[in-house]
Structure 1
Amino acid sequence: MTTSTSALADIEGIPHLNPAPAFVPAPERSRGGIPQLTLPSGHRALHLTRYQDVHRVLTDPTFGRTATNVEGGPSFLPTIMPKELLLNLDVPDHARMRGFVNADYSAAGVEALRPAVQEILAAKVARLRGAKKPDLYADVLDTLPAEVNGRFLGIPDSDIDFYRPLGHTVQIASDKDVPGLVEDFTALYIYLTELVTGARPRIEGGLIDRFVAARDTVEPPLGDAELVGILLGSLLGADQNILSVSAKILYVLLCRPVLWQQIAEDPEITGALVEELIRLIPLGNISAFPRIATQRVEATEGVIEEGDVVYPDAFQANRDPEVFPDPLLIDPHRKGKRHLQFGYGMHHCMGAALARMEIVEMVSILAQEFPALTLDADPAALPWDSGVVLRRPTALPVRW
């Protein structure tokens, strides 16, 4: 079946979907003539919104991340993160650690997880069918990414109730209780350290086992802190981030029933439609982390000078009308350049293939099981969780 353009929908008017800016626009432009904003840390940053400029910053290693993750550095976060987190590394350290995990997190590497996703989803679909007040978030979505990632890493389901609240606090990253944030971040770090060192039991044969066994295959060998840095990104991203994106994709599909009907009638369109929704849906209240320019670069609106802090706004770039005509239209047949939601270049999201596989599988199964699924609530009245890198509806009452 071929979906016609006339059957498409857009995201305009969907309540709460677009986040409020996590920054304050600055009244004057930079010394190079580029619009600026003020970060929560108080620093001025160049606000790049054109696809060409954001792509350039994300792919150019001369825009560094490491120098921002320091006490008093330019940041959206009220505290610093572990320096070994892949997100914070620049060349050459990033390449050494990223190369260690590339095969496992490739599309081929995560494909082995598909049967586990299907098995877990089957149980959750049965739970949804039997619920007196079916809620897609509570009955299906809530622990799905954590359970899948647990199978991948080798983490028991019994640990979920311990580490998930910690990860939630870290991704919300509220400045209202920084000591509490640091305490939970530290507890999460210690938990992963215990998994790596064997002080806490893990399931045999998971990625943690394989990483520990293969740590000497890179030069120099990976230390415990580096393995924890890799796993911290996975524990947060493959749980909280996938949950946020999944919840918002299903929310949009339920708010635009014509799209749900298309998936139910033509399952082959699911992957392309999910990809288009990923382009349009921001993960949290920000869409990237700041970088610092280490050399002078010409941008479309001016010049980025050496030492400038830049915010490559992937959210705005993914809606650049010069690259994505009629950008708010949800068009699964859209051709052209790839969206920037997963980043680009060396900081391209490690778990992108896992997220795509898991979300497409989930949407496909739900649409086949519940072709008449519809939202059983006023979208504007749904509760939302909102933070720096976490934002999603926390209830999706449904009927069919």
Structure 2
Amino acid sequence: MTTSTVPAVTVADIPHLDAPPAHTPRQDRSAGGLPQVTLPSGHTAVHLTRYRDVHKVLTDPTFARARTNVEDGPSFLPTTMPPELLLNLDTPDHARMRGFVTADYSAAGVERLRPTVEAVIGERFAALRSEDRPDLFRTVLDPFPVTVNSHFLGFPPDDIAYFRPYSRTVQMAPADDVPLLLDHFWKVYHYVTDLVTGARPVSSDGLIARFVAGRDRAEPPLSDKELVGLLLGSVLGADQNVLSFLTKGVYALLCAPRLWQRLADDPGIAPQLVEELLRLIPLGTISTFPRVATRDLETSGGLVREGDIVYADAFAANRDPEAFPDPEVIDPDRQGKRHLQLGYGMHHCMGAALTRLEATTLLTRLAQEFPTLSWDADPRTLPWDHGTLLRRPTSLPVRW
């Protein structure tokens, strides 16, 4: 139940926020009695939607990711990915690589970026104020996360114009254009490889140089491919994924003037509001990647059997009324369980703390400096990008 005196704002008040899912419900049930869906790859998967069940799977390391990242494997993607990416690794390989980066991507580790985040926001706000027809997406949001990431990782800002069109394709390409997706993916992959091997320059105080110099901290030492796998996730996710969340978060607030006014009156609620927006806003049409059960697991609705393909639907779990009363209400005063948007367990998002830092700082500053911000267009007519992984508006015309 919402505790705020502001009238409730729900997901239904935000046009186009939700999209049709990438999976297709099936009428039949699994051998263990559970609902099933058909994945885009054609495979049948057990569909878990209750918070307690999804949480159980995400925190259970016996549910294997690597067994899905194979040719003709069960997937939402039209092709396979390099096995060195963290999201494709299982124990013990995942622990070895994740342990190498944990400190740098922790809340304390990313806090050193705060002056950079504040400075980039200040520059982008100044540019917004100078425009005759201000577009918050084009001028502020689109360049914001990738610019911060260039400082964090240490790649030259001038490189952004080269690799970013390719990284956007990797996340936003239509599923039926696999040759384009693969071509652009490998361009980004080889770009990151050049950063790791020294073929391209990097800043001496960025994470790339730090990881290369400290690779012996892992046992055995990390190879070039493993370092590329770690950094590729950051080059893509800390740009396109963060951008998608920021864009839809601001879009949602502008579509809910009562909620925006609450933030403008009290910018200090930004951290709680970010968590509530994270809980409710889908980045695209999928929430987690499939896993394969390597043992039987009892759930609230039936038995997951060894060998079952499992889609633990974090998006649905985040709207489970048993875990989140009035689940579709956007309530910055909400207390209780932690949402699953950024994963849980060993596959918890590596960039979670960075996402929170950027989103909270942006919303706080936006509310402080543009308290009367509103639409300069009908939000129902705005164009959207809709790709294999991500979905977001491509324009946010505003006035104040």
Please list, as runs of the form range in 1=range in 2, the aligned pairs for 1:1-400 lying within 5 A after superposition: 4-400=4-400
Structure 1 contact 77–173 (Cα < 8 Å) conserved: no
Q: Which amino acid aligns with 1:378?
A: D
Q: Secondary structure at 1:330's aligned position in 2?
A: coil
Identity of aligned residues (%): 63
* 1:145-173 Cα distance to aligned partner (Å, 9 max, x none): 00000000001111111111111111124
Structure 2 contact 11–328 (Cα < 8 Å) conserved: yes
C-alpha separation between the residues in 2 aligned to 1:380 and 1:6?
24
Q: Secondary structure at 2:121's aligned position in 1?
A: helix
Structure 1 contact 48–312 (Cα < 8 Å) conserved: yes
Report deviation, 1:311.
0.4
* 1:177-207 Cα distance to aligned partner (Å, 9 max, x none): 1111111111111100000000011122100
Give 5+ residue unaligned stretches, structure 1.
none
C-alpha separation between the residues in 1 aligned to 2:89 and 2:125?
40
C-alpha separation between the residues in 2 aligned to 1:11 and 1:98?
35
* 1:198-250 Cα distance to aligned partner (Å, 9 max, x none): 00111221000100010001100000000000001101110000000000000
TM (normalized to structure 2)?
0.98
Q: Secondary structure at 1:392's aligned position in 2?
A: strand
Report deviation, 1:11.
1.7
Structure 1 contact 78–173 (Cα < 8 Å) conserved: no
Structure 1 contact 255–379 (Cα < 8 Å) conserved: yes
Structure 2 contact 376–398 (Cα < 8 Å) conserved: yes
Report deviation, 1:19.
1.5
Flag the 1:391–1:379 CA change in 2: closer, same or farther, 3 A: same
Report deviation, 1:343.
0.3
C-alpha separation between the residues in 1 aligned to 2:122 and 2:100?
33
Report deviation, 1:175.
2.4
Q: Secondary structure at 2:385's aligned position in 1?
A: strand
| Alignment root-mean-square deviation, CA | 1.2
C-alpha separation between the residues in 1 aligned to 2:362 and 2:85?
29
Q: Which amino acid aligns with 2:142?
A: D
Q: Aligned pairs, how many?
A: 399
Report deviation, 1:7.
3.9
C-alpha separation between the residues in 1 aligned to 2:216 and 2:206?
18
Q: Which amino acid aligns with 2:90?
A: D
Q: Which stretches of structure 1, 4 residues or longer, exceed 6 Å deviation after superposition?
A: none
Q: Which amino acid aligns with 1:210?
A: R
C-alpha separation between the residues in 2 aligned to 1:336 and 1:118?
30
* 1:290-319 Cα distance to aligned partner (Å, 9 max, x none): 000000111111110100001011110000
Give 5+ residue unaligned stretches, structure 2.
none
